[in-house]
């Protein structure tokens, strides 16, 4: 059924809800709370009927300056904040404005959103199937996906390999004489897209340098759990730990301090992100500062190229960042 023949009232009748509820669900700027089961039902019915609100689309179609960013529910730390801030400014320099929508499992939700907003481009940090991307293209919406792992063969994909960070950690610890390494990760599954590539990088670095495969330990952000992790490291004879990020590293430092374990004499610790607190803890944390600003610039340039219709193959950011040497390693 053609989208312009379907009204919000028709969706409301088919879904068994009020017209106002449909309006609340379909408006991305809505601040009213709608039950999740109701929201998903309205989105499903709207997709089945081919409905998308058109007023916003008509208002924006002439400008086409909007970038709709679809992001997972990542915890916003200092590093991600730097990334989003730089991305916003770079897109603004290209004449583009970013609108962030946090992802759920309903692809129909994204489709309805970009039909209603008619953005110049969609930037997705979650997987979007090829059919959906093709439908968006037919409606004049460029879709670019960004992944924090190894290069992808598909066009309009930006790869920012996080494994390079893990390799950098291993190389630094080995340069200080460490030979038996571990990789420490958080127990937050929202970070899976970053955790596995960094772990892979640590594993790869150990293999290249002829070291044993690194022990993997989970470090909760609580003293009891961090103490248990430190005890496991000691029992395994670990002398260097590549931490997923600075939070995990600081948790390990707290556990070591509580157990009387000397850092870095007994175990060297290196984090990632160079959070401001890293320089203030005792001992001050050695860490990898990643070039998230460079990644944001790359993404902004690719989006502008896609919008302008320039031919683009996959883009991969090279290893970026440097070690900030402090007392923990």
Mean pLDDT of 253-268: 97
Tell me whether residue 63 is in a domain.
no
Q: What's the gap between Cα 121 and its chain centre?
A: 18
| Domain end marker among 28, 51, 74 | 51
Report pLDDT for 58.
42
Reported pTM: 0.76
Residues 6+ apart with CB under 8 A from 11: 22, 42, 45, 46, 49, 51
Tell me whether residue 47 is in a domain.
yes
What's the domain range around 21?
A: 1-51
Report pLDDT for 232.
98
- CATH number, domain containing residue 44: 1.10.260
- Token pair 């460079």 is found at 294
Where is pLDDT greater, at 51 or 28?
51
| Domain end marker among 12, 36, 51 | 51
Cβ-contact 118, 61 below 8 angstroms: yes
Residue 33's pLDDT band, with cuts at 50, 70 and 90, is: low
Tens-digit pLDDT profile for residues 176-196: 999 999 999 999 888 887 899
Mean pLDDT of 149-163: 70
Most confident by average pLDDT, 50-59, 124-133, 205-214 = 205-214
- CATH number, domain containing residue 271: 3.40.50.2300
Phi-psi domain of 167 (left: phi exceeds 0; alpha: psi -120 through 50; beta: other): alpha
Report pLDDT for 161.
79
Tell me whether residue 70 is in a domain.
no
Tell me whether residue 227 is in a domain.
yes
Tell me whether residue 241 is in a domain.
yes
Tell me whether residue 180 is in a domain.
yes
- How many domains are there within the chain? 2
Tell me whether residue 90 is in a domain.
no
Averaged pLDDT score across all residues of the chain: 84
Per residue, the 3-state secondary structure of the chain, as one string, reads CCHHHCCHHHHHHHHCCCHHHHHHHHCCCCCCCCCHHHHHHHHHHHHHHCCCCCHHHHHHCCCCCEEEEEECCCCCCHHHHHHHHHHHHHHHHCCCEEEEEECCCCHHHHHHHHHHHCCCEEEECCCCCHHHHHHHHHCCCEEEEEECCCCCCCCCEEECCCHHHHHHHHHHHHHCCCCCEEEEECCCHHHHHHHHHHHHHHHHHHHHCCCCCCEEEECCCCHHHHHHHHHHHHHCCCCEEEECCHHHHHHHHHHHHHHCCCCCCCCEEEEECCCHHHHCCCCCCEEEECCHHHHHHHHHHHHHHHHCCCCCCCEECCCCCEEECCCCC
| Domain end marker among 10, 27, 51 | 51
Tell me whether residue 71 is in a domain.
no
């Amino acid at each position: 059924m053609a989208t312009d023949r379907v009204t919000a009232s028709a969706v409301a009748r088919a879904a068994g809800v009020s017209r106002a509820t449909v309006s609340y669900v379909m408006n991305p700027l809505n601040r009213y709370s709608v039950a999740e089961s109701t929201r998903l039902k309205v989105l499903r019915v709207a997709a089945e009927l081919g409905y998308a609100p058109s007023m916003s689309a008509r208002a924006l179609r002439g400008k086409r300056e909007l970038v709709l960013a679809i992001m997972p529910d990542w915890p916003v730390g200092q590093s991600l904040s730097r990334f989003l801030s730089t991305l916003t400014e770079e897109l603004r320099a290209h004449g583009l404005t970013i609108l962030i929508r946090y992802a759920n499992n309903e692809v129909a939700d994204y489709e309805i959103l970009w039909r209603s907003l008619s953005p110049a481009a969609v930037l997705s940090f979650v997987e979007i199937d090829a059919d959906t991307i093709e439908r968006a293209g037919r409606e004049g919406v460029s879709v670019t996906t960004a992944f924090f792992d190894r290069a992808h063969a598909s066009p309009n994909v930006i790869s920012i390999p996080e494994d390079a960070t893990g390799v950098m950690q291993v190389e630094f610890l080995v340069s200080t004489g460490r030979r038996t390494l571990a990789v420490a990760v958080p127990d937050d599954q929202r970070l899976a897209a970053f955790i596995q590539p960094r772990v892979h990088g640590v594993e790869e670095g150990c293999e290249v340098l002829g070291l044993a495969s690194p022990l993997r330990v989970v470090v909760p952000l609580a003293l009891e759990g961090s103490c248990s992790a430190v005890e496991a490291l000691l029992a395994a004879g670990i002398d260097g730990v590549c931490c997923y990020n600075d939070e995990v590293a600081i948790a390990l430092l707290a556990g070591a301090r509580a157990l009387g374990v000397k850092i870095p004499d007994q175990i060297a610790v290196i984090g990632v992100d160079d959070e401001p607190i890293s320089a203030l803890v005792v001992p001050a944390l050695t860490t990898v500062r990643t070039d998230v600003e460079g990644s944001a610039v790359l993404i902004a340039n690719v989006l502008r190229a896609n919008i302008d219709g320039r031919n683009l193959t996959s883009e991969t950011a090279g290893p970026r960042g440097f070690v900030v040497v402090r007392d923990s390693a």
